[in-house]
Amino acid sequence: MINIKVLGSGCSNCKTTYARIEKAAQDKKVEITLEKIEDMAQIMSYGIMSTPGVVIDGEVVHAGGIPDQKKIEAWF
């Protein structure tokens, strides 16, 4: 089980990122727990200044912009 967090203040890029990860996990049949972090203090505590950010098992793997399909699949 992979724990994935999408960090973002609810902008459209963040929603797209969330949806893409959700879909990629379904397609690949990977079990994940997906969370949305919208609280600014929490987002900043990960040390990023560009959103959306993606955190996997506590590690920041992406910041700023929508990650592409290949990148997402590489995380699984």
Q: Footprint of another protein on this chain (CB under 8 A)?
A: 8-9, 11-14, 40-41, 43-51, 60-66, 68, 70
Shortest CB 63 distance to another protein, Å = 6
Q: CB nearer to another protein: give 29 or 70.
A: 70
What would you report as the CA-atom Rg of the chain, rounded to the nearest whole angstrom?
11
**Minimum CB distance to another protein smaller for 5 or for 51:** 51
Q: Give percent helix, percent strand, percent coil of the chain, each to the nearest 5.
A: 40, 30, 35
Judged by beta carbon, residue 31 or residue 49, the one nearer another protein is: 49
Reduced to 3 states, what is the DSSP secondary structure of residue 58?
Answer: coil
CB of 54 to another protein, least distance (A): 8
Least distance (Å) between residue 53 CB and another protein? 8
Q: Which helix (H) or strand (E) holds 41?
A: helix 40-45
Cis peptide before 52 (omega within 30 of 0): yes
